[in-house]
Structure 1
Amino acid sequence: MDYVITSIASQVRCDANALRLIISALLGYPICVIYNIYLSKSPIITKHIYYTLCGLFLCYYNYGINTIHSFVSCIFVWTVLTLIGPKRKAIALNLTFCMSYLLYGYYVTQTGSEYMFTWTIPQCVLTLRLIAMTFDVYDGHRNTKILAKLATDSPTYAKNSTKSDKLELFSEDTAVDNCPTLLQLLSHSYFPGSFLIGPQVKYKNYLKYIESNDNFLPKCWLPAMSRLMLGLIYLLIYQIGSIHWPYQYMNSPEFDSYGFFMRASVVAIIAKLTLCKYLSGWLIAEGVCIISGASYNEKTGSVYECSNVYVLKFETATTFGGLIRSFNLTTNEFAARYLFKRLKFLGSRIASHFLTLLFLALWHGWATGYYITFGMEFLIMKMEWEVLSLFNSWRNRNKTMDSLLSAFYIRWPLLVFFRIYTIYMFGYCLVPFILLSYTKWIPVLTQLYFCGHIIYGTWLLIPPLIVPYIKAKQQ
């Protein structure tokens, strides 16, 4: 089997491990079809066992004996939750263990300058999933205590709960009342639709899905096939494009011979192709979640509960904020829900944002490129927030200019300009993320004169100078 995979990979010019990963993601479709047809009305324990075994099989097919790493992480988290219970100590232990184990994995597998397809790929997805589950159990325990207190203080609370009461509860859409059983935790962790490359599936939603006896194929197969086809299109674009524009091209003598604009254009193209690779994987996996029914929202009727990318928004975004809000959605939601909002005690949005991005950089690995890219995201978003705030304030005060900027012949050229700006500058930011090693990304950014760092870094000095002037003028 390995010989066949290696042979096919050499023919299509891709990494054999990457091809095996894509095949495994595609196998999620028949696995979930079988579940819906034959197991949807089976006992809950049977469903959990089925998904656990299928997920373990796919993991072993890709990583062999290294499957033990994910299994050990699951056992540790379950043991902590069982012995300690839903307490802050459990959160600290599970978060520390999961991140330490993942970073150890990066240390022993990702030491070179080339990205390797190893067991750390599903491990990084699992790390967020187990941390999120620990928080969900803790939130559920806190909510139970709050409801008990409210019920004691007001005997009629259960019948007359108000919006203000509900606002006191923590993460009602994800919080769970009980610690998971070992089988529940394993089933959720190894769910074939999201174990290998994401997306993140909320534990509470997953339990509801397993407890349902519905066959989701009639309402979900068409949206799932559309995501699959879209994912395969992105994969084809990446595969063909990377043959002509491989990321190694940025370190070639030919790249060095170009002028500034041509270098920036090459960087933008290669970054776009790299994003096509990620989008293809996310869309294929998202299709599996849809066809399984795990992505179905009973209240709204939407089948996109596990969406990881808004394709149209991503392809038309004219700001970095718009880009960030349109792809890798479940990871961004994790960062917002379990990190950014819980750092509110710092009293600073900037500090919370910085620490959240630092965590995400560390979650990606040890390579310097990750920290430079997320550092750039911090600088860019800080500048974008402040510039847009100043611009909107000025626009609200100047109704004539507001009307002019709303005109079709002004608005559309500006949108085109900012779309081009976003493509080029996002490409610049992704250079360290793509090349990873400082020995590779520094020469490329040098050829681009570190223009992005200069632009966004300089902005740090500007607000202290202009904000007092603007406030004085407003007064």
Structure 2
Amino acid sequence: MPAIPAVDHGWIGVVANLMGASAPALRLLISLLMSYPMAFFHRKFLYGKSVNIQHIYFILCGSYIGIFNYGASIFHAYLCILVQYFFLMFTKGSVFSVLFAFFFQMVYLLTEYFMTETENYDIKWTIPHCVLTLRLIGQAYDAYDGMQKDEDLTGDQKTQALRRFPSLLESAAHVFYPGSFMIGPQYPMRRYLDFVEGKFGENGNPPDSISPGLQRLGLGLAYVMIYQLLSPYFNNDTLLSPEFESASFLWKMVIVGCYGKILLYKYVSCWIVIEGSCILAGISYNGKDKNGEPQWDGCENIGIGLFEKSYKFGHVIASFNKCTNKWVFQNIYKRLKFLNRREISQFAALLFLAVWHGLHSGYYMCFFMEFIVMNSEKAFESVVSKFPALVRWHNSTLGFWIDVVLSKTFLIVYFGYCMIPFGLLKWRLWTKVYGMIYYNGTILFIAFPFIAQLITMTFCAKKSKGKDKEESKSDTTATLKSGVNGNKQD
């Protein structure tokens, strides 16, 4: 289907050139900002009204945003919603309905990738469609869980289960909701239904969420500015430039660290902007804290505090793309618990994420790096815990802050290293850059778990040998004492 061309000769193209951005990127940002007046209109005129009217309004808003960005390509979203709805209508709540949804939506998405992927990361209609894919598969899972007994479900499954089969309007509105249609966040249909049914408001009024929503918008726009200012200096061209190739190894690693951080800001800025819209509308409501204050993190895709303060890879993973990671944890990782192997479930979840992102080899390398990095970090922490002196050092004030500075520096540099394939995508590009820095991160993270095991075995052997010596010395002392006492008795 025809889509909006990458080169836009209208006013958007002119403004994009002035900003130093691409026309598709500017269209995407405008689309995210459109969700704010749409949320205001809903609060003012439609909140608490007929749920069907709300569904229709959200479908129209999301469709307009989709057409504004990608023209007639919006057809693919309508087709996938209709095919799944009519198929699930005849196989309500069965395992087969889940298998069909999973297979059909993923094959359709991968076919789109195969037909449209280019050398670069393109802002095209596959972006909202990959969000749609998870959302529709999630609907099938939740409908299946709704047919099961409570005792057979986990806590999350009970909360998200659909006890009745969703209507076509509900399914489409869940997908097209303008505050999440383009880039997420991902959330279950149960949250959307609770929102339109007014369960997040008080006394029939919308929740008091205008101020926190606009504050989030301000923070998001600040990150957009940071990205726009720094991305010209740290981008794909930087890594492929002759200047980078001729730089010293240490300077290359500094550039790699900055590149990864700025690349992440591209996603962070968009997520924060759209999260503000979800807060404003009220769909982000997540109950009240212990002080009775409302919490607005129900659609939080980036834990910005943890993300910026992180000094471990686990912190970044826990703070980044939270809604998608939660979806994968619930619907891939936990559904494979019957295998009784955490490593297999973890690998399968990361493989699914790579496939879901696209067909470029860079995605697969990036998530492979995540797999070996997380295992290396766990191995490192396990080794440190076996040395009391290191534990005491880390628990001291001075030791803790020195460790944090060193760990933070290491994290920035090597998270940037892991992001190189994600940014460059093509095998010939990311392998070229990895070759220029000697694949040092890949070698380090593959080798360290084996090194950690060797250190642990050596430490345990020394500890056991020392214990045997102590026991032998104790036995010898006891024997001598026994002999002395015996002589005295004689």
Report what 2:303 is aligned to.
310
Q: 1:173 aligns with which of 159, 164, 184?
A: 159
**What is the match of residue 327 of structure 2?**
334
Deviation sequence 1:48-106 (CA, Å, 0-9, x none): 11111111111111111100111111112212221111111111110011111111111
CA distance 1:277–1:401, shift in 2 (3 Å): closer
Q: Whose RCO is larger (CA < 8 A, sep 6+)?
A: 1
The counterpart of 2:429, out of the listed 423, 432, 440, is 440
Give the match for residue 75 of structure 2: 68
**Residues 106 and 401 of structure 1: CA distance in aligned 2, closer, same or farther (over 3 Å):** closer
* Residue 236 of structure 2: aligned partner: 247
Q: Which moved more, 1:461-470 or 1:331-340?
A: 461-470
Partner Cα distance (1:169, 1:235) in 2 = 37
Q: Report the CA distance between 1:246 and its aligned residue.
A: 2.8
The answer to whether the Cα contact below 8 Å between 1:81 and 1:90 also exists between their aligned partners in 2 is yes
Q: Distance in 2 between matches of 1:459 and 1:269?
A: 24
Counterpart secondary structure, 2:160: coil
Q: What is the root-mean-square deviation in Å for CA atoms of aligned residues?
A: 1.9
Name which of 138, 141, 158 aligns with 1:135.
Answer: 141
In 1: Cα distance, 2:399 partner to 2:452 partner? 27
- CA drift of 1:227 comes to 1.2
Q: 1:320 — aligned with what? A: 313
Shift of 1:37: 0.7
Q: Which amino acid aligns with 1:172?
A: K
Question: What 5-or-longer segments of structure 1 have no aligned partner?
Answer: 148-166
Once residues 458 and 340 of structure 2 are traced to their aligned partners in structure 1, the CA distance between those partners, rounded to angstroms, is 25
Distance 1:367 1:82 in 2: 35
Distance 1:447 1:403 in 2: 39
Contact 2:47/2:206, CA 8 A, preserved across alignment: no
Q: Is the 8 A contact 2:207 2:282 kept in 1?
A: no
Instruction: Give the match's secondary structure for 2:102.
Output: helix
Q: What displacement does 1:244 show?
A: 2.8
1:113 paired with 2:119, answer: yes
TM-superposition CA deviations, 1:316-364 (whole Å, max 9, x none): 1111111000110001101111111111112211111111101100000
Q: What aligned pairs does 1:49-448 form with structure 2 within 5 A after superposition? A: 49-110=56-117, 112-143=118-149, 146=151, 171-212=157-198, 214=201, 219-298=208-287, 300=289, 301-392=294-385, 394=386, 398=388, 401-448=390-437
Counterpart check, 1:45 vs 2:52? yes
Q: Does the 8 A contact of 2:217 with 2:272 survive in 1? A: yes
Does the CA-based 8 Å contact 1:142-1:170 persist in structure 2? no
186 and 454 in structure 1: CA distance in 2 versus 1, 3 angstrom threshold = same
2:159 partner SS? coil
* Residue aligned with 2:298, SS: coil
**1:10 and 1:141, CA in 2 relative to 1: closer, same or farther beyond 3 A?**
same
Question: Percent of counterpart pairs with the same letter?
Answer: 35
State the alpha-carbon separation in 2 of the partners of residues 402 and 439 from structure 1.
Answer: 43
**CA–CA separation in structure 2 for the residues paired with 1:466 and 1:450:** 24
SS of match in other structure, 2:211: helix
Q: 1:168 to 1:444 in 2, by over 3 A?
A: closer
> Which amino acid in the other structure matches residue 425 of structure 1?
Y
Q: CA 1:245–1:402 in 2, change beyond 3 Å: closer, same or farther?
A: closer
Whether the 8 Å CA contact 1:216–1:291 is kept in 2: the answer is: no
SS state of the match for residue 166, structure 2?
coil
Q: Distance in 2 between matches of 1:281 and 1:343?
A: 32
**Contact 1:225/1:287 (8 A) holds in 2:** yes
Describe the superposition over 1:353-394 as per-residue Cα deviations: whole angstroms up to 9, x where unpaired.
1111011000000101001110011111111122223323x2
Cα distance per residue 1:188-211 (max 9 Å; x no partner): 000000010110122111101101
* Aligned CA distance change for structure 1 residues 348 and 216 (closer, same or farther; 3 Å): farther
Structure 2 counterpart of 1:453: 442
Distance 2:280 2:23 in 1: 27
Map of 2:3 onto structure 1? none
Partner of 2:43: 36
Q: Is the 8 A contact 2:48 2:197 kept in 1?
A: no
Return closer, same or farther for 1:174/1:474 CA change in 2, 3 Å cut-off: farther
The amino acid of 1:278's aligned partner reads Y
Structure 1 runs, 4 residues or longer, greater than 3 Å off: 167-170, 213-218, 400-404, 460-475
The alpha-carbon deviation at position 474 of structure 1 amounts to 6.4
> Gaps (5+ residues) in structure 2?
1-7, 465-490
d(CA) in 1 for partners of 2:9, 2:62: 20
Equivalent residue letter for 2:65: L
Distance 1:216 1:370 in 2: 44
- Structure 2 residue matching 1:296: 3-state secondary structure: coil
1:82 counterpart SS class: helix
Q: 1:471 to 1:178 in 2, by over 3 A?
A: farther
State the alpha-carbon separation in 2 of the partners of residues 212 and 303 from structure 1. Answer: 16
Q: CA deviation at 1:464?
A: 5.3
Letter in 2 for 1:32: A
Return the alpha-carbon distance in structure 1 between the equivalents of residues 31 and 238 of structure 2.
Answer: 30
Distance 1:266 1:246, change over 3 A: same
